[in-house]
Amino acid sequence: MEKRTKFVLDEEEIPGQWYNIQADLPRPLLPPLHPVTKQPLTPDDLAPLFPMELIKQEVSTERWIDIPEEVRDIYKLWRPTTLFRAHRLEKALYTPAKIFYKYEGSSPPGSHKPNTAVASAYYNKKEGINRIATETGAGQWGSALSFAGACFGVKIKVYMVAISYKQKPYRRIMMETWGAECVSSPSKDTKVGRDMLAKDPDCPGSLGLAISEAVEDAMSRDDTHYSLGSVLNHVLLHQTVNGLEAKKLMEKADAYPDIIVGCVGGGSNFAGLFLPFVKDKIDGTKPDLRIINVEPTAAPTMTRGPYAYDYGDTAKLAPIIKMYTLGHDFIPAPIHAGGLRYHGMAPIICHLADLGLVEATAVHQIPTFEAGVTFARTEGIISAPETNHCIRVAIDEALKCKESGEAKTILIAHSGHGHVDMAAYDAYLSGKLVDYEYPKEKIEEALSKLPKV
């Protein structure tokens, strides 16, 4: 029997609709709250920040939402993406496990982020908005929205977390090449940024702080909307294009995963892959499926944070949402996986965890790079620091199979390549990389400031 390494779909097989998990949740999500009144948000509350079509998608309970042809046409630049069987990794681990990975690094910006960035730019342009403000952690979202802005003629202003701005200059250059403006956050361009710099001139920044700057920017101008690259329901919705492809491809491989593993910061990349599969767990057809969310020990949102209402940003401008949280004042350690340093998590993922449908684990930075190097030396792909987190756990699960003799099928959500993360690999290879454990007292301090809801 032929040993196949990759499984592909034709261009015509790109999904024509996104899958909305809200139609199938055993119980509905709790509503987001207004940051001032603490009352449930209304569409009018969100209208200054988002186009109405995205607001409708945010609250929709329709199972299928059509992908506009203009969006699908741009998807064709890189979609459908490939499912790989990691034969060489399996051999190196001496494991009976079957390891697959769905690779999103073939998009122009090199990650999963354009799946929603293109949709966001499209809906904003359709509503007559020609400028969008946003934040970015490691720069993957900022570069994806910059690419999408170039596709539709929308100006993009990106507030990039300061430590990543310093660590990853090539991400900034990518954004500027696509025509965007990128500044280090905290910046002097907003009151939120100026206040933080006055308090701490060397502040490394955080996603919560960068969100505050972008929201302030958008709210201060009539020509500007805000766009978020993770966390929100409509963002996870757009990412399901990947999971829908993965289900078709696993069928072509004559396999179904026992374990699905992905990294989570805000949660969009992994949710996009697993949501079409978690439906099988909800309806009882695959009750034993394990879905493992992997986060860094330096930002242990799901593994150490409480499930509570909290602000989505540092300045308390964004909605209050029910999520696992480390507190909106959370300032993370400068780990290289910048996309995983958010204080909260997507409400949908948190809700599924609360229902017992998904699980979470946290891993240290150095072992993730060890796994990333193993993956590069077997499968050839140099992965993003974020992606290395789920590769670490997938390898660990495969080694458990080696011990037990079980031939489990493992599916990895491979969110992107690490070609602009060479400084991180250099730090690992030269022995300069360090691990961070977020202190218990810092978590307790941040949680003391949760809103009273």
Report the CATH number that the domain containing residue 417 is assigned in CATH: 3.40.50.1100
131 within some domain: no
Report the alpha-carbon distance of residue 141 to residue 196 in Å, rounded: 23
**Sheet of 6-7, strand order:** 6-7, 83-85, 98-103, 409-414, 259-263, 290-296, 359-363
Alpha carbon distance 161, 166 (integer Å): 9
Q: Which two tokens stand for residue 226?
A: 């805000």
pLDDT for 334 = 78
Instruction: Give 12: exposed, middle or buried? Use CB within 10 Å, 0-12, 13-18, 19+.
Output: exposed
Which residue is it, tokens 């993360």?
Answer: 421
Domain annotation covers residue 161: no
Domain holding 379, by residue range, is 69-110+233-447
**245 is written with which tokens?**
């492809």
Task: Classify residue 3 by burial, with Cβ atoms within 10 Å: 0-12, 13-18, 19+.
Answer: exposed
pLDDT score recorded for residue 206: 86
Decide if 162 is inside a domain. no
Quickly count: other Cβ atoms within 10 Å of residue 431's Cβ: 8
Measured between alpha carbons, how far apart are the two ends of the chain, in Å?
60
| φ, ψ for residue 181, nearest 5 deg | -105, 130
Determine how many CB atoms are found less than 10 A away from the CB of residue 105.
22
Strands 6-7 and 83-85: antiparallel
Q: How far apart are alpha carbons 214 and 48 in whole angstroms?
A: 13
Residue 1: inside a domain, yes or no?
no
In a domain, 156, yes or no: no
In a domain, 138, yes or no: no
pLDDT in tens, the chain (453 residues): 468 999 999 999 999 999 999 999 999 999 999 999 999 999 899 998 999 999 999 999 999 999 999 999 999 999 999 999 999 999 999 999 999 999 999 999 999 999 999 999 999 999 999 999 999 988 899 999 999 999 999 999 999 999 889 988 999 999 999 999 999 999 999 999 999 999 999 999 988 899 899 999 999 999 999 999 999 999 999 999 999 999 999 999 999 999 999 999 999 999 999 999 999 999 999 999 999 999 999 999 999 999 999 998 888 888 899 999 999 888 778 777 777 888 899 999 999 999 999 999 999 999 999 999 999 999 999 999 999 999 999 999 999 999 999 999 999 999 999 999 999 999 999 999 999 988 888 888 888 889 988
Question: Is the N-terminal amide bond of 80 cis, ω within 30° of 0?
Answer: yes
User: Is residue 367 situated within a structural domain?
Assistant: yes
Q: Does the bond joining 43 to the residue before it have cis omega, within 30 degrees of 0?
A: no
Distance CA 91, CA 93 (A): 5
CB 257 within 8 Å of CB 411: yes
CA distance 262 to 339: 13
How many domains would you assign to the chain? Answer: 1
Query: Rounded to whole angstroms, how far apart are CA atoms 93 and 49?
Result: 48
| 20 in any annotated domain | no
Say what the pLDDT of residue 1 is.
Answer: 46
Q: Give the residue from 297, 260, 244, 241 showing the smallest Cα distance to 390.
A: 260
Write down the residue that tokens 């998904």 correspond to: 358
Q: How far is CA 333 from the centre of its chain?
A: 19
